[in-house]
Amino acid sequence: MKKLISISLFIVIAIVSLTVTNACYYDKEDILYPEQPCDTSKTVSYSSDVVPILSVNCYNCHSLVNAPVYGENLILEGYVNLRTYMLLEPETLENSINQNGKALNMPRGAAKLAKCSISDIEIWVKQGARNN
Ligand code: HEC
């Protein structure tokens, strides 16, 4: 009888631990949440897509008010300022946010922008960097 109990106990433990290890396997983050591709077919808007990204990540150093103090006078706030800089320095802004070694890494001292924020800015540039 004691033997039977220990055998069934062993079976129960085996089933439980198998379930647990399997659960761990199937709960892997990249299996449950595969990386979503960015939407590259949309029209990207300056005012509703680009400005929100820049205002959260860049204006604390590159706004009209902050640039002289924190951003080496590089003003990225306002369409004309952004566009003028991008025409004077083609690709520097894209290189800086891609952190590809061809420009200084931006945002300075912070994590790289989210993949789809970078993609949005690149699409906006490809679509003519319009004031849309
Ligand atoms: C904490 C302040 C800070 C933040 C935030 C910041 N920058 Fe900068 N940025 C600077 C400073 C300061 C410089 C001048 C170069 C230097 O000293 O790093 C600069 C330079 C640049 C340059 C010129 C790079 C080059 O290689 O010539 C670009 C483009 C730029 N920033 C874009 C951005 C963008 C886009 C963001 C937001 C995604 C951003 N920055 C966020 C402080 C900042």
Query: How much is the mean pLDDT over the chain?
Result: 89
Looking at residue 36, what is its pLDDT?
Answer: 84
| Phi, psi for residue 25 in degrees, rounded to 5 | -60, -50
Give the pLDDT of residue 77: 98
Six token digits for residue 111: 């994590």
- In the reported structure, the alpha carbon of residue 34 is separated from the centroid of ligand 1 by a whole-number distance in angstroms of 32
Q: What is the mean pLDDT of residues 38-66?
A: 97
* 75-129 residue pLDDT tens: 999 999 999 999 999 999 999 999 999 999 999 999 999 999 999 999 999 999 9
Return the structure tokens found at 116: 């789809």
Q: Which of 74, 99, 86, 95 is nearest to 46 (CA)?
A: 86
Ligand 1 centre and the CA of 2: distance in Å?
73
Q: What is the pLDDT averaged over residues 15-41? A: 70
Q: Residue 52 — very low, low, confident or very high, per pLDDT cuts 50/70/90?
A: very high
Separation of CA 62 and ligand 1 centre (Å): 7
Task: Output the CA–CA distances (angstroms, integers) from residue 7 to 13, 53, 80, 86, 116, in the order listed.
Answer: 10, 61, 78, 74, 55
pTM of the model: 0.81
Pocket of ligand 1 (CB under 6 A): 57-58, 60-62, 70-72, 74, 76, 92-93, 96-97, 103-104, 106-110, 113
Closest Cα partner for 98 from 79, 121, 78? Answer: 121
Q: What pLDDT sits at residue 34?
A: 72
Query: Strand, helix or coil at 11?
Result: helix
CA of 43 to the centre of ligand 1 (A): 26
